[in-house]
Structure formats: structure tokens, C-alpha cells
Amino acid sequence: GEKKTLKASAFAMLGAAPTTNPSKPSSASSLNTLFRIYFVSDSRSVHEWLVSEGHAESPDSGIGGSAVTQSRLQMIENARGKPTCETEKQMQEAMHRLLQLVDRLPFACVKSKREDAWEEFQHKVMQGTDALSLSLQLKWLCDQLVTKVLNPSWQLNARGEWEVKTERCETLKQMYHLMLELEDDAINWRAVDTRWERERSARGRDRKEGGEDPTKEEEVKREGGDGKK
């Protein structure tokens, strides 16, 4: 909202949430639409729903790179096959949510900049066999985050217990809770936004510098010199 990437239609949608008493609308009822989107709609995140409905712009691709343009669920289904039971369906949806989290992070937020490391991470997520295997990948992701994008209070007071829980995770419900804690309590999204801006600026400078090189070469050729002005 602060960056004006969320359109007014999104707020109109929230205002249209049903109420038990229309004469007395409440803030809780306004949030009902968000609750329904997040917990009911086919494993999509709130932001993904906003983008698909045209209420928000598509984000820049994160660590996932160009692969983000392909449906994550489709990628997972291609790797594992179409789910034939509810358990497999839930596993694939959990994988989807974990990879979505990665897509929201630029390389400037993580320690390892090697693309092959993140390709391996994605492979391990999509080859997960149970909740624990996904939880351990979630822990690896957290370990990769630079300190400056994590909330100090969470690191001091909750990180240790959170890490223990990731190593003892037994159900997908527990894994989702751990992932939500990382998203809501651990990651400082304002700091992430700042690093997105830095990364965009760096890309812009690279494109600008790359576009200037041919011009400089032409100037040298016209002068018939040895490359020195």
C-alpha cells in the first residue's frame, strides 16, 4: 500500500465482506475476506490472489529466478506426478507455499548467491517425502537469511525454540505454523523491501553501463586512436 502497488479495488473487496449485522459493520468482518482467501482458496497466498484478481501488480522474480513465471504447482506436479490421494495433494500444496516464500526474497537477502545452491534447494523441496523433510528445508532457508532481514527480538527470544521444532516436525500443520512464524515474526519485510530496491537499482546501473559501452567503442573508432582519449 505504501508503495502504491496495491490497487483501490482490493480495499473495495475487503469492504464488501459479509456481515452478520449489516447495520453495524465491524473491522473484524472486513477482515473476513482476507481470512477466507488465505485459508480456503486452493493454497494460494493472499498476494497471489490479489495479483490474479488484478488488485496488485506482479512482483519481481526472487531467488526462484525465471522459473517463477511458470506455475509452481505445475512444476511440482511435473516432478512428482498428479496427486492421486489427499496426502500427496497436501504435500504438493505445502511445497508450493514454501517455494512461494523463496520467490518473495531477492538474492540480496541471502548468504549464498550461487544459483545451483537454490536449484538444489528447490529439488529437495519437490522431492520431499514428509512434513519433516519440508521443515528441514525451511530451517535451511532461515539459515541462509542475512541477519539484517531478521527481527532482532525473534532471533534473541524465539529462534532457538523454532529451530528445535523444525527438527521435530511431524505434521504438515506443524510445518505451516513454523513457516508462518518465519514469515510473520522472524522476517523483517521492510528490510527485504529495501534490499529489493537496492537490487533493482543495481540491475538498472548494469543495463545502463552495458548500453554505454558500444557508444564508447564507436567514439574510439571514429577518433582512430588507441583507445585513449
Per-residue model confidence as pLDDT tens digits over 27-65: 444 444 444 444 433 444 555 555 555 555 555 556 665
This model's pTM is above 0.85: no
pLDDT in tens, 211-220: 654 444 444 3
> Residue 31: its pLDDT value, please?
45
Poorest-pLDDT segment among 16-30, 102-116, 193-207? 16-30
Please answer whether residues 113 and 107 qualify as being in contact, where contact means their C-beta atoms are separated by less than 8 angstroms. yes
Alpha-carbon span 90 to 161, nearest angstrom: 26
Alpha-carbon span 27 to 46, nearest angstrom: 18
> Residue 204: its pLDDT value, please?
75
Beta bridge partners, 187, equal 150
164-173 b/e (C-beta count within 10 Å ≥ 16 → b): ebbeebeebe
Alpha-carbon span 179 to 96, nearest angstrom: 12
Count of alpha carbons within 13 angstroms of residue 21, beta-carbon side: 6
